[in-house]
Structure 1
Amino acid sequence: MSGGKREGCVRKRLWRWRGNPLRRREDVVEAWIVLVMWVVAVVGGAVAGTVVARVIDQDFARQRADRHPVRAVLLTGTPPTTPAGGDGYRSAAEVRWTAPDGTVRTGRTLVDDGLRSGATVTVWQDGRNVLVPRPADPAEARVEAVLSGAAAALALTGLSYVTTTAARWRLDRRRYDQWAAEWELIGPRWNQRTS
């Protein structure tokens, strides 16, 4: 693209910012609204995504630090696995375990299917000796944090886009109303005959 064409293209994109006798106040307002939308979408989206990802990652790290595995005895059996070879199914079952303070506790948690009563299983408990789900490992936590951060960035970008679209629609309605009022004044003059 030659220098002249490129300059013309840039001028065309920035026409709302230049002095122009046909430029209306609404055109300037619309240009500022679009600029703010892009700043919010790019900068705000990056900040929101980063903050959310860090908070989620820290929460998973806190869970990994607080939760620890405990050996427990299964008090009730679980249903057999499906005949189609469905590995990885889990069911709620009653278990008994000894807490670090030496007290024997019972509770319900998810364990693999196909286990019989009396089987030894690994369960997870938190610092208050309450059964909790297994914490996410660092790789799973990182993926979850990144996806949550991306979702937050997209949500903020979508919200700014919808807000900008609504504001531009209102500006368009205002311009249409102004054009209609001007046409009411000018339109009848066009129908006059000159002879």
Structure 2
Amino acid sequence: MRAISGLWRWRGSPLRRPTDRAEAWVCLVALLLICVAAPAIGWLTGTAAQDSLRRSVAEQRHTRQRVPATVLRRMAYHPPETDPDAGAGAGAAHSVRSRVLAGWTAPDGAPRHGAVLTGLKSPHRGDRLLIWTDRQGHMTTRPLDSTTARAHAVLAGFGAALLAAALVETVRRVVVWRMVRRRYARWDQAWERAGPDWGKAGTGS
């Protein structure tokens, strides 16, 4: 931005160098890309993510269902990597839960059993609870809700826009840095040529 404003202020100055104009154009192009291209990339990414997540929500709602399960016995609690019955909010993640061995019936009538986290404070054998299963009767996580899917899509779009803007700014800095290094190299070469004759009478005449 400083290069653009500086070039505009002294665009007619005889001291203006071609590299100053080039740096200003690089900054202008980068600014346009950040203001136009980055939001467009974010919008496209968010839209694509929302469409994909919307299909996932519909598929999960169609293929997953809650079925009744019976507590067989209580198990020692070890925090699992995924909570099959945990909600999306922070409250569900911090609620008191017990780990039990539960049994249920698959859609084809086959018996199933597995470790389940439940909100029952003192579960006993025979207690009833609801779990999420897939079409084969295997225990799974609850379907993704629309609000969470929308939030994920917004975050994906916002992240893509920031990443695109950061990439443009990085390229701009690298290009300007190379231009400045080249300018300094030219100055060094010019000084080496003029250095031996510097201060001598008649130099340049």
TM-score (norm 1): 0.70
Gaps of 5+ in 2: 78-92
Residue 97 of structure 2 corresponds to residue 104 of structure 1: no
**1:3-32 superposed Cα distances (whole Å, 9 cap, x missing partner):** xxxxxxxx9455499576544443344333
Q: Count how many residue pairs are aligned between Structure 1 and Structure 2.
A: 180
Q: CA deviation at 1:128?
A: 4.9
Once the two structures are overlaid, the 10-residue window that deviates more, 173-182 or 91-100, is 91-100
CA distances 1:51-78 after superposition (whole Å, capped 9, x unpaired): 3323333343333322333332234426
Cα distance between partner residues in 2 of 1:91 and 1:152: 40
1:138-162 alpha-carbon deviations (Å, 9 max, x no partner): 2222222212221121111112212
Q: Secondary structure at 2:184's aligned position in 1?
A: helix
Amino acid of the structure 2 residue aligned with 1:55: A
Say if 1:71 and 1:123, in contact at 8 Å, map to a contact too.
yes
Partner residue of 1:165 out of 165, 173, 182: 173
Give the stretch that moved more between structures: 11-20 or 179-188.
Answer: 11-20
Runs of 4+ in 1 over 6 A off after TM superposition: none
Distance 1:120 1:48, change over 3 A: farther
Runs of 5+ consecutive residues of structure 1 not aligned to the other structure: 1-10, 81-85
| SS state at 2:23 partner | helix
Shift of 1:175: 0.9
What CA distance in whole angstroms lies between the structure 2 residues aligned with 1:125 and 1:43? 45
- Describe the superposition over 1:68-121 as per-residue Cα deviations: whole angstroms up to 9, x where unpaired: 3333223442668xxxxx951446654332233333323345433635243322
TM value normalised by structure 2: 0.67
- Counterparts of 1:40-189 in structure 2 under 5 Å? 40-65=33-58, 66=60, 67-77=64-74, 88-90=95-97, 93-112=100-119, 114-116=121-123, 117-189=125-197
Q: Is the 8 A contact 2:47 2:153 kept in 1?
A: yes
User: What letter corresponds to residue 49 of structure 1 in structure 2?
Assistant: G
Q: State whether residues 69 and 128 of structure 2, in contact with CA within 8 Å, keep that contact through their aligned partners in structure 1.
A: yes
RMSD over aligned Cα, in angstroms?
A: 3.5
Name the aligned partner's letter for residue 150 of structure 2: R
Flag the 1:169–1:41 CA change in 2: closer, same or farther, 3 A. same
CA distance in structure 1 between the aligned counterparts of 2:71 and 2:54, rounded to whole angstroms: 29
C-alpha distance 161-12 of structure 1, shift in aligned 2 (>3 A): closer
